[in-house]
Every structure is written in structure tokens, then in C-alpha cells.
């Protein structure tokens, strides 16, 4: 099959996937009743007849008296028009799309830093463990990675917090920036910086280099906590893939030709062994973009994961539906991108 035909087919297949995602998101909220939905838009200060009238208007606006499939169609049209509803949480009240625009940048920055750490740490260790199979280094790394892989993420974050922030005092305990540095700053308000909503970038744009460095320093510790779990998975996967590749005939042929070992490892073996690790890495990055809920909550990072937790704790239907839908779209998109990359690299995938 030609590449362009494969791309068209994959793009067409993603449509029912997205429809299924919206349907599941819609049902999960609506099974809890209409009161949770109208609470997004209902003025909490209304009482008596005014409250009853407002509820009646909301029922008509969102067709809540109609059958469920009719409600779904109207809600889907609303989503396609860019309206994901309204959210009311202690940290933000307003349109869900605005909340995502405010909180997602911090999540993106956390995901990018963590992914960089995972890649630059996990790849060399995974390759070296395979090359030095059953050595003391390999055995030690296997124990460490199995331990990290088996530990609950929140426990890893707490250990990192206790060791590096409490006992060693190397990093700040929580937050995205030191609030003492923000006194009198007009581009930072209520935990959000402007215009990009990433403190590091906004500080650079406004020439506040001390705030920019402090912001990066605040992100290092949660990024290390996130990276530890991802590094364990990458090392285990890459080690297994490298061992399989090193047993292939073309590797033996390269060695028999007298090619230096480092070129055999770096040029021939590692390149092919990275394909499964790349898959895991992309899905892991998509998962981080989907909201590192536990990390942002423990380290008090005002990202989309932290906002989602606030929405869950306050039964905020708009925030729950909006974040769930966005997280699902990110994972589906990551899967699509991987399929297209593999189809371009390996023609066998198209058949």
C-alpha cells in the first residue's frame, strides 16, 4: 500500500475513535444526573423563584429534558465549536478552554524537562547494561530499575522530596517560583504569569533573569521524580531490545569484518534497538502531557493535572469533562503520529 493511502486510512480510522472518546466522556458525567451539569452555570447566590427559573432556563438551553442521545448531539456540536463548558474550582472559575490555556503551559514544561532527563539518562544506561550483560553494573541497574518500576509513583515523588528538598535542601519543596521574587511584578497574578503562562519564558521576555532561573530550579525536583519512573521503563525495554539485536546475524557479520566494537554498538545495534524504546518514550511523553496529576499535586505545580484534581474534589463537571477529553485526544494523536512514523520508516507496516 502506498504511503499516502495508509495515511488517509489512518486519518479516517481516527474519526470513530474520537467519537467513541466523546461518547464515553459524555456518558461518564451524565450518569451522575443533571444537577452536576447545571451546577457549572448556575449562580450559587440565587435563591427561591429566581433559582428555579435559572434552572429551568438551563434545562432548556442544554436540552436536558430530551433523550440522552439528543443531549449528546447538542453537546458534541458545542465541543466542535470550541466550547468545553464552564468550570468552578478554588484556583479558577471560568471557561474550560481558558483554564486549559492557563494551566497547560506548566504541564508542558514539566513534561519536556522530564522527557529530556529520561532520554539522556535512560538511553546510555540501557545500552551499556546490554553490552555489559550480567556484569555487576548490569545486575545493579536491574535491581534499581525493577525497584523503581514496582514503586507507586507518589512514593517515588515523596522520597525525592524528602531526600533532595528536606534533608539535603538542594531544591525548593513546592511551587513554580519563589513568591518573594514576584512582589511588585505586574505580569504575574494569582499563580499565573503572562503572556505565555510559563514563568520561565515570561520572566525572560520581561528581562527578569533571576526569576527565570528560580523557576527552572523549582521544576528540576518534580522533573527528577517524574523521570525516575520513566527511566526505569526505558532502561528495561532498551536493554531487552539491545540483547535481541546483538544476537542478530548482521551484528556478527559486522564484527567478523573487523569493525570496531563501538561502531557496531552505536551505529548498527543501538539504532535498531531504539525503535521499541521510541514507542514507549512517545506514549510516555503523551501521558505526561495528559496531566501529571500526582506530581503537580504533591509539588504544588499549577498545571492542568493540579487543576483537574481540584475539579474532581469539587464535583466540577466542566473541568472533569474538559480535561478527560483533552487527555484522550492527546493519547489518540500520539498513537496516530507513531503509526505514521513507522509507516514511513518500515514499509511492512502498511500491509
What would the pLDDT profile of 68-80 be if each residue is shown by its tens digit?
A: 888 888 888 888 8
What pLDDT is stored for residue 192 in this prediction? 82
Q: pLDDT (tens digit, 9 = 90+) per residue, 32-51?
A: 666 667 767 777 777 777 77
pLDDT of 48:
76
| pLDDT, the chain, mean | 82
Is the bond leading into 157 cis (omega within 30 degrees of zero)? no
Residue 263 vs residues 17, 138, 250: alpha-carbon distances, Å: 43, 21, 13
Tell me 348's DSSP state. Answer: G
Main-chain dihedrals φ then ψ at residue 189, nearest 5 degrees: -150, 130
Q: What Rg value do the Cα atoms of the chain yield, rounded?
A: 24
Domain boundaries, the chain: 11-94, 97-350
Cis link prior to 329 (omega < 30° from 0)? Answer: no
First to last CA, the chain: 6
**Residue 213: its pLDDT value, please?**
92
Among 112-116, 231-235, 292-296, 344-348, whose mean pLDDT is lowest? 344-348
Question: What is this structure's pTM?
Answer: 0.81
Q: Percentage of residues in the chain with pLDDT exceeding 70?
A: 94
Q: Looking at residues 235-258, what average pLDDT do you find?
A: 81
pLDDT interval class at 239 (50, 70, 90): confident
The per-residue b/e assignment along 242-267, b for 16 or more CB within 10 angstroms, e otherwise, is beebbeeeebeebeeeeeeeeebbee
DSSP3 helix / strand / coil % (the chain, rounded to 5): 75, 5, 25
**Any idea what DSSP says for residue 165?**
I
Digit-coded pLDDT (tens) for 291-342: 678 888 888 888 888 888 888 888 888 888 888 888 888 888 888 887 777 7
DSSP per position, 168-213 = S--S-SSSSS-GGGGTT-TTEETTEESSSS-HHHHHHHTT-HHHHH
- Contact of 141 with 236, CB cutoff 8 Å: no
**Which pLDDT tens digit goes with each residue over 256-281?**
777 777 777 777 777 777 777 777 77
How many CB atoms within 10 Å of residue 146?
Answer: 12
Residues 6+ apart with CB under 8 A from 63: 70, 71, 74
Q: What is the CATH number of domain 97-350?
A: 1.10.3720.10
Quick one: average pLDDT of 240-249?
82
Amino acid at each position: 500500500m502506498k504511503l499516502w493511502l495508509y495515511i488517509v486510512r489512518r486519518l479516517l480510522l481516527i474519526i470513530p475513535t474520537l467519537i467513541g472518546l466523546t461518547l464515553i466522556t459524555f456518558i461518564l458525567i451524565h450518569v451522575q444526573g443533571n444537577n452536576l451539569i447545571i451546577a457549572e452555570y448556575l449562580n450559587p447566590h440565587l435563591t427561591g423563584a429566581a433559582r428555579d427559573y435559572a434552572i429551568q432556563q438551563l434545562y432548556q438551553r442544554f436540552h436536558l429534558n430530551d433523550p440522552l442521545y439528543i443531549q449528546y448531539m447538542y453537546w458534541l456540536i458545542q465541543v466542535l465549536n470550541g466550547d468545553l463548558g464552564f468550570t468552578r474550582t478554588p484556583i479558577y472559575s471560568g471557561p474550560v478552554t481558558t483554564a486549559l490555556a492557563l494551566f497547560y503551559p506548566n504541564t508542558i514544561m514539566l513534561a519536556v524537562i522530564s522527557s529530556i532527563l529520561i532520554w539522556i539518562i535512560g538511553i546510555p544506561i540501557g545500552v551499556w547494561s546490554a553490552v555489559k550483560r550480567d556484569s555487576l553494573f548490569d545486575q545493579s541497574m536491574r535491581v534499581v530499575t525493577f525497584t523503581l518500576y514496582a514503586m507507586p509513583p507518589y512514593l517515588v515523588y515523596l522520597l525525592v522530596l524528602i531526600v533532595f528538598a528536606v534533608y539535603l535542601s538542594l531544591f525548593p519543596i513546592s511551587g513554580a517560583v519563589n513568591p518573594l521574587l514576584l512582589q511588585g511584578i505586574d505580569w504575574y497574578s494569582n499563580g499565573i504569569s503572562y503572556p505565555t503562562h510559563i514563568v520561565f519564558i515570561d520572566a525572560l521576555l520581561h528581562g527578569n533573569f533571576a526569576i527565570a532561573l528560580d523557576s527552572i530550579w523549582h521544576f528540576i525536583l518534580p522533573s527528577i521524580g517524574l523521570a525516575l519512573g520513566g527511566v526505569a521503563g526505558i532502561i528495561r525495554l532498551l536493554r531487552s531490545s539491545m540483547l535481541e539485536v546483538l544476537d542478530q546475524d548482521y551484528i556478527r557479520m559486522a564484527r567478523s569484518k573487523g569493525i570496531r566494537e563501538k561502531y557496531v554498538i552505536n551505529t548498527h545495534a543501538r539504532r535498531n534497538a531504539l525503535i521499541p524504546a521510541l514507542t514507549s518514550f512517545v506514549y510516555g511523553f503523551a501521558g505526561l502531557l495528559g496531566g501529571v496529576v500526582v506530581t503537580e499535586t504533591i509539588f504544588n505545580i499549577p498545571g492542568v493535572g493540579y487543576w483537574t484534581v481540584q475539579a474532581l474534589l469539587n464535583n466540577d463537571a466542566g473541568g472533569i469533562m474538559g480535561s478527560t477529553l483533552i487527555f484522550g485526544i492527546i493519547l489518540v494523536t500520539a498513537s496516530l503520529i507513531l503509526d505514521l512514523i513507522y509507516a514511513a520508516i518500515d514499509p511492512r507496516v502498511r500491509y
